Chains A and B, each alone.
Chain A
Amino acid sequence: MATLVDNRYGKAKVRVLRLFKTGDYHKIFDFDCCVLLLGDEFKETYLTGDNKRVVPTDTVKNTIYVLAQQETFKSLEEFGIILGKHFIKTYSHVQGVHATMKENSWARMGTGKQQDHSFVREREIHTIQVNSSRGQEPQVTSGIDDLLIMKTTQSGFEGYNKCQYTTLKETSDRVFATVVTANWTYNTLNVDYTKAFEIMKQSVFEIFSSTYSKSVQESLFLMAKLALERCPQIETIKMSLPNKHAFGFDFSRLNIQNQNTVFQPVEEPSGLIEGTIKRSVSSKL
């Protein structure tokens, strides 16, 4: 009559701030962590309420803090791998671990010595997903979220399909604003994740700022392509770029011409452009 198809459980939204102190210099990881455990034997409590195999979610939470203090890591992707490895090693009935993290970006503030320990929050979020399974290599997905960027020229949209419902005017000079979301996977565990994240971000910035955009689609592809070129360890990139429209204000009823300097940003609706770009198969020497 009723079948438990799958299940996972754990602790979500565990807030952690971890400092690595090298003398006066502090490196920080400020993140929100979710660890979910998977395993056939956890079915029992769903089906009969028998809790003997259940590792309490409170223990999961405590473990996150214990490992955060005990372990050394250079990125949260590495911490995610450490978490997976710990639960699989410690509890023989855990078959898999899904660790998801959202890392807040903090830029260093001031100059000289102040930079060691003073920070200012930036908008974008670094996302991390590590799926670990017993006896297999962990699957790491990194991402960036909420990266809001805008360019005020060097963007257009022309030559598109027109029909009786088309009212949009062609333009070769428009404002282009978007909130970048990207997720990417790797072809190896041999990765400097911090560098991969930086490469992704810089690829977005470089294409956005230095090329004329014929469409959001074209820019999306170029950004991903550049990141694949610069980071050989990245395998697949999934990108989502909403087109946050800013239309020239319609002065026509006031008999005034818009000089292409006053716009009306429109929150909703937005265009939404998505694509997945995969590294072409490489030829072996």
Chain B
Amino acid sequence: MTDKDIASKEGSWKELIRKGDIVDSTKILEDEVKKTPDNSMAWMYLGTVYAEDDKDTEALRALETSVKLDPNNLAARVLLSVSLANELQLERSMDVLYQWIKRNPMYSAIANQYTYNEKQNDTAPQSMVNPFIDEDNPFLYQLDTIGIEYKQKTIIDMFTEASRVNLENPDPDVHIILGILDNVRSDYESAVNHFKLALEIRPDDYQLWNKLGATLTNGSRPQEALSSYYKALEINPSYVRARANLGIAFMNMADYPNAAKNLLHAISMRPNVPNHMWDTLTNIFLILHRDDLVTKSRQKDVSLLQDDLELF
């Protein structure tokens, strides 16, 4: 394949994802990585569609592969760090971003001024520190919390310095990364500011609107999150993650009927959704003391709940 072919293929994947037909794009990309298993970009787009479907475990695997195949795939690194942060693999999330700045010709000089101790190889862990952790499961990774605060500070200092390189034209990627890093250390207020700044430059980035919404919700401001999710869904109506997050925001506002409605909506958008979405829906029904619906949602069959959807 020539570079031109690759570029046109990437363009078609982008278009597929943009059109929001995730079922189709997932299938196409899953086939693509079977055909060209060493194509970092194909794995990256596959990771993207998994993440948009709220499937972080699958996204993580695809993005790990993408970064492993091409350690200089900076876009894949950002996506991977988000999935890692979502899965609470906080230290790895930071390590992946450290390699982003180190490998970025624009900012590598900044990175080189700092001492940052990576846990180990920045892609999938090479050796398990603990003998009892399953070798088959690369996502179980021993976290050594000693020194993690120091690392957090170091990496945030690095990216803050990078954000000051060109104050006239801020680099949205740097601010998105700062937003991710602030989420990792639960500084939601600062994360909100970084995401808002990046949105001024990329107002059509629906994933970014979702990041803003999720940060507001996690920072106990679910009411303010709603408009961010609506914006994300306006740009991409079949964005499952934003729809599910919208339900969670309502849940945090104790508006359980709207929470159930949006969760159910998200679940019905795909033939198979991750278990955690069903678990959340079940929890909402438990809070509502609707034992009948709890029983139904535990069966994880959306057709059983079809008629109940209108009740909410």
| Contact B210–A285 (Cβ < 8 Å) | yes
- How many chain B residues have a CB neighbour from A under 8 Å? 39
For the complex, give the distance between the alpha carbons of A215 and B67 in Å: 52
Q: Give A196's nearest chain B residue, CB to CB.
A: B145
Given that A188-B88, A232-B90 are known contacts, is A283 also in contact with B130, CB under 8 Å in the complex? no
Among B85, B133, B143, B215, contact of A192 (Cβ-Cβ < 8 Å)? B143
In the assembled complex, B306 has its CB within 8 A of some CB on chain A: no
- Interface residues of chain B: helix, strand, loop or mixed (majority): helix
In the assembled complex, A167 has its CB within 8 A of some CB on chain B: no
Among B145, B214, B225, contact of A285 (Cβ-Cβ < 8 Å)? B214
For the complex, give the distance between the alpha carbons of A275 and B242 in Å: 32
Q: Binary interface profile of B, 239-251, with partner A (CB < 8 Å = 1, else 0)?
A: 0010011001101
In the assembled complex, A218 has its CB within 8 A of some CB on chain B: no
In the assembled complex, A81 has its CB within 8 A of some CB on chain B: yes
Interface residue range, chain A: 20 to 34
| Contact A232–B88 (Cβ < 8 Å) | yes
In the assembled complex, B82 has its CB within 8 A of some CB on chain A: yes
Q: Give B247's nearest chain A residue, CB to CB.
A: A281
| Contact A284–B86 (Cβ < 8 Å) | yes
Number of A-B contacts (CB under 8 A): 64
| Contact A192–B144 (Cβ < 8 Å) | yes
In the assembled complex, A78 has its CB within 8 A of some CB on chain B: yes
Considering only residues 52-96 of chain A, those with a C-beta below 8 Å from chain B are: 71, 78, 81-82, 85
> Which chain B residues lie closer than 8 Å to A229 at the CB level?
186
> Which chain B residues lie closer than 8 Å to A13 at the CB level?
none
Q: Binary interface profile of B, 130-147, with partner A (CB < 8 Å = 1, else 0)?
A: 111100000011111100
Considering only residues 108-154 of chain B, those with a C-beta below 8 Å from chain A are: 130-133, 140-145
In the assembled complex, A51 has its CB within 8 A of some CB on chain B: no
Among B54, B82, B88, B283, contact of A187 (Cβ-Cβ < 8 Å)? B88
| Contact B248–A283 (Cβ < 8 Å) | yes
For the complex, give the distance between the alpha carbons of A81 and B144 in Å: 18
Q: Binary interface profile of B, 38-67, with partner A (CB < 8 Å = 1, else 0)?
A: 000000000000000010100000000000
Q: Give B252's nearest chain A residue, CB to CB.
A: A280
| Contact B140–A192 (Cβ < 8 Å) | no
| Contact B252–A81 (Cβ < 8 Å) | no
> Which chain B residues lie closer than 8 Å to A81 at the CB level?
132
In the assembled complex, A48 has its CB within 8 A of some CB on chain B: no
> Which chain A residues lie closer than 8 Å to B133 at the CB level?
189
For the complex, give the distance between the alpha carbons of A282 and B217 in Å: 8
Q: How far is the CB of B70 from chain A (nearest CB, A)?
A: 23
Q: Binary interface profile of B, 77-108, with partner A (CB < 8 Å = 1, else 0)?
A: 00000100111111000000000000000000
> Which chain A residues lie closer than 8 Å to B213 at the CB level?
283
> Which chain B residues lie closer than 8 Å to A82 at the CB level?
131-132
> Which chain B residues lie closer than 8 Å to A195 at the CB level?
145
> Which chain B residues lie closer than 8 Å to A191 at the CB level?
143
> Which chain A residues lie closer than 8 Å to B249 at the CB level?
283
| Contact B131–A283 (Cβ < 8 Å) | no
Q: Give A283's nearest chain B residue, CB to CB.
A: B214
Q: Binary interface profile of B, 268-280, with partner A (CB < 8 Å = 1, else 0)?
A: 0000000000001
Q: Give A80's nearest chain B residue, CB to CB.
A: B132
> Which chain B residues lie closer than 8 Å to A187 at the CB level?
88
> Which chain A residues lie closer than 8 Å to B130 at the CB level?
78
Given that A189-B133, A195-B145 are known contacts, is A285 also in contact with B89, CB under 8 Å in the complex? no
| Contact A283–B217 (Cβ < 8 Å) | yes
Q: How far is the CB of A53 from chain B (nearest CB, A)?
A: 25
| Contact B54–A284 (Cβ < 8 Å) | yes
For the complex, give the distance between the alpha carbons of A188 and B137 in Å: 12
| Contact B140–A190 (Cβ < 8 Å) | yes
In the assembled complex, A240 has its CB within 8 A of some CB on chain B: no
Q: How far is the CB of B188 from chain A (nearest CB, A)?
A: 11
Q: How far is the CB of A285 from chain B (nearest CB, A)?
A: 5
For the complex, give the distance between the alpha carbons of A51 and B108 in Å: 67
> Which chain B residues lie closer than 8 Å to A280 at the CB level?
251-252
| Contact A285–B86 (Cβ < 8 Å) | yes
Interface residues of A (CB under 8 A from B): 71, 78, 81-82, 85, 187-192, 195, 229, 232-233, 280-285
Interface residues of B (CB under 8 A from A): 54, 56, 82, 85-90, 130-133, 140-145, 180, 183, 186, 210-211, 213-215, 217-218, 225, 241, 244-245, 248-249, 251-252, 280, 283
Can you sample 13 A-B contacts with CB below 8 Å?
A: A71-B131, A85-B132, A188-B87, A189-B140, A190-B88, A190-B142, A192-B144, A232-B88, A281-B283, A282-B214, A283-B217, A283-B249, A285-B210
Known: A189-B133, A190-B140, A283-B218. 5 other contacts (CB 8 A): A82-B131, A188-B87, A281-B280, A282-B218, A285-B215
The 3 A-B residue pairs whose C-beta atoms are closest, nearest first, are A283-B214, A283-B217, A81-B132
